[in-house]
Amino acid sequence: MKKIIAVLPGDGIGPEVMAEALKVLDRIQEKYAAAFEYEHALAGGAAWDKHGEHLPQETLDICRRSDAILFGSVGGAVRDQHQAKWARAEVNSLLGLRKTFGLYANLRPAKLYPALASASPLRADTAKKGFDILVVRELTGGIYFGEPKGRRGEAESESAFDTMIYSRAEIKRIAHIAFQAARTRRKKVTSIDKANVLTTMVFWREVVEEVAKEYPDVTCEPMYVDNAAQQLTLRPSQFDVMLCGNMFGDILSDEAAAITGSLGMLPSASLTENGFGMFEPGGGSAPDIAGKGIANPIAQIMSAAMMLKYSFGMNDAYDAVARSVETVLDAGYRTADIRQMGCKTVGTEEMGSRIADRIISQTG
């Protein structure tokens, strides 16, 4: 089985953490007799330097002829956003790719590893219980894209408006993704809405309940978004899959990420209807630490693992990477973003090598 992977490291720490993800994928090739061909392409500021645009045609062509896209991160320091090179680097590259490929399903796992409990901002007794949540966010519809949107009038009568709109088809396809994911996990979907106030969300709830009937083995419960925001901090272990529309998913997935303790740990997948996907870390290009060799590569490595699972169906390989990460954390190795008493701080390369080495040495 040969798979072509478009590799877009991007800017800042992107190339540093991407190198570690490829190291891990190389070991996966050895262990599982797979064949990966990496097609490197530019995105963000790196693409701007060569082509004067953030998402050049050459990069799109490479992505189109690949089986999956492994993305790093793009963008420069916040203070440099007035420069053409950095202004809209993220919007043009990421939204450009989402739009071009119709990546409508965003999967963001947020897991609190037992070894990292003390790094979480949650109360110690809550963190000790750990959690393993998958936020499934609808990515191409809802209020972010609904029309009409705009401003009208002037002075005190000036107003601004957006439209929250979801079609039955849009809700059904993202709900199916959530239920199918739940089947491979703890078989529970919590569907987030605001059905007490918004008509769109009454409809959302109705359609999710229709889809739930096709998955009798999966428990489905609705929850208002304001309650979900609280429950994430009070009792996160109750959640398995959280199914959300675009805006609620945007907010809750960041909250779920924050309670794990570090942005450098969180992978994500964005998928199309036929399983084609783009896989990327939850964080940005971290210009404050770029070039220092201290970035945490785990989010990028786990993004590559999600690619193995969701685009290539290599579930065992996904588990092998996840086990390696957990073993290295249990052994007390940490990058500088996670400071914990009694742990050994290592750089990006050493963390990547330790995880990659475990792939071969673990049994099963």
As a residue count, the chain comes to 364
The yes or no reply on residue 283 touching ligand NAD (CB under 6 A) is yes
Nearest residue to 211 via CA among 181, 183, 175:
175
Active-site hit among 194, 215, 310, 337: 194
- CA 311 from centre of chain: 14
Q: How many CB atoms lie within 10 A of CB 180?
A: 13
Using CA atoms in the order 2, 96, 109, 234, what is the torsion angle rounded to 10 degrees? Answer: 180
Q: How far is the CB of 293 from ligand NAD (least distance, A)?
A: 11
Does 194 qualify as catalytic in the annotation? yes
Question: Which residues from 259-278 bind ligand NAD, rule CB under 6 A?
Answer: 263-264
Nearer residue to ligand NAD within complex by CB, 58 or 288? 288
- CA-to-CA separations, 17 to 281, 288, 294, in angstroms, rounded: 10, 15, 10
Active-site hit among 80, 132, 162, 250: 250
* Residue type present at position 353: S
Question: Which residues from 79-98 bind ligand NAD, rule CB under 6 A?
Answer: 90, 94
Nearest residue to 224 via CA among 251, 238, 205:
205
User: Which residue bears the tokens 């050493």?
Assistant: 350
Q: How far is the CB of 33 from ligand NAD (least distance, A)?
A: 31
Q: How far is the CB of 6 from ligand NAD (least distance, A)?
A: 15
HEC string of 224-247 equals EHHHHHHHHHHCHHHCCEEEECHH
Position among 21, 28, 41, 74 found at the interface with ligand NAD (CB under 6 A): 74
Active-site hit among 49, 61, 99, 226: 226
Nearer residue to ligand NAD within complex by CB, 240 or 337? 337
Nearest residue to 116 via CA among 232, 262, 299:
262
The yes or no reply on residue 296 touching ligand NAD (CB under 6 A) is yes
Nearest residue to 265 via CA among 189, 355, 341, 185:
355
Nearer residue to ligand NAD within complex by CB, 170 or 337? 337
CA distance 207 to 175: 9
- Mark residues 196-215: x for contact with ligand NAD by CB under 6 A, - for none: --------------------
Nearer residue to ligand NAD within complex by CB, 4 or 336? 336
Does 104 qualify as catalytic in the annotation? no
The yes or no reply on residue 116 touching ligand NAD (CB under 6 A) is no
Does 215 qualify as catalytic in the annotation? no
- CA-to-CA separations, 108 to 13, 44, 133, 201, 313, in angstroms, rounded: 20, 22, 8, 22, 18
Does 99 qualify as catalytic in the annotation? no
Position among 212, 337, 358, 359 found at the interface with ligand NAD (CB under 6 A): 337
Q: How far is the CB of 339 from ligand NAD (least distance, A)?
A: 11
CA distance 9 to 270: 16
The yes or no reply on residue 9 touching ligand NAD (CB under 6 A) is no
Active-site hit among 32, 38, 80, 144: 144
Does 310 qualify as catalytic in the annotation? no
CA distance 67 to 60: 13
Position among 76, 141, 267, 277 found at the interface with ligand NAD (CB under 6 A): 76
The yes or no reply on residue 106 touching ligand NAD (CB under 6 A) is no
Cβ-count burial of 203 within 10 angstroms (0-12 exposed, 13-18 middle, 19+ buried)?
middle
Nearer residue to ligand NAD within complex by CB, 198 or 263? 263
Instruction: Provide the annotated active-site residues.
Output: 144, 194, 226, 250, 254
Interface with ligand NAD (CB under 6 A): 13, 17, 73-76, 78, 90, 94, 263-264, 280, 283-289, 295-296, 299, 337
